[in-house]
Amino acid sequence: MSAKKVLVVGGTGYLGQHLLQGFSEIQATTPFALAFTYNSFPPQPLLLAFPTSFAFHVDLKTGLGFDSISQQFGQPDVVVNCAALSVPRACENDPDAAISINVPSSLVNWLSSFAQSDNTLLIHLSTDQVYEGVKSFYKEEDEALPVNVYGKSKVAAEQFISEKWSNFAILRSSIIFGPQTVSPVPKSLPI
């Protein structure tokens, strides 16, 4: 049996870098191949910190770059989608970009291209901004009523994934904060 393959989409972001760190810490006891995507460039500190990981340039708007992953890495067993246009003001200023990045249509279409596509688990990061924000605690069953473009794009992503992919988990996070990443990310919330 070959080693499992894990792909972190948006590996250069705050959460993506922490996932890469966590995966690299357990790689010695649980062997698997690790890859991540980046949008503009892979930060050198990140490449140095995870030298056994594969790094792939992918444009989520167009899907360019996924073929390189197919050829060099193959079909992943697990994909964790951390990529997002997550700054609400940027989403309000460019709703088309928010939809094209936050709704992972190019990712799901690429995964569908594999013969055994339903073997891949897609873990998608969403947000509590899918709710209107009038109460303190929401449950999964509560109606999604987003009040901004970011929230609307994440609701659209959740609907798209649930309609187009059978093996998935959607995680709705609130504010994500923690220690600084290997390659500092603007707007992170370090403690």
Structure tokens that stand for 126 in this block: 């969403």
Give me the pLDDT at residue 179, please: 74
Hey, where are the domains in the chain? 4-173
122: CB partners within 8 A, 6+ apart: 79, 81, 107, 108, 111, 161, 165, 167, 168, 169
Q: How far apart are CA 58 and CA 36, in angstroms?
A: 10
Give me the pLDDT at residue 191, please: 42
The closest alpha carbon to 127, from 101, 164, 99, 102, belongs to 102
Task: Give Cα separations from 10 to 40, 59, 84 (angstroms).
Answer: 11, 10, 8
Task: Give Cα separations from 114 to 4, 61, 67, 184 (angstroms).
Answer: 16, 20, 11, 35
Query: Is the separation of the CB atoms in 42 and 55 below 8 Å?
Result: yes
Four-way CATH pick for 4-173: 3.40.50.720, 2.60.40.1180, 1.20.120.610, 3.40.50.300: 3.40.50.720
pTM: 0.91
Place of tokens 């603007």: 186
Sequential pLDDT tens for the chain (191 residues): 578 999 999 999 989 999 999 998 888 788 899 999 999 877 788 888 888 899 999 999 999 999 999 999 999 999 999 999 988 899 999 999 999 999 999 999 999 999 887 889 999 999 998 988 888 888 888 889 899 999 999 999 999 999 999 999 999 988 777 777 777 676 544 44
Task: Give Cα separations from 159 to 25, 41, 84, 132, 153 (angstroms).
Answer: 33, 30, 16, 17, 10
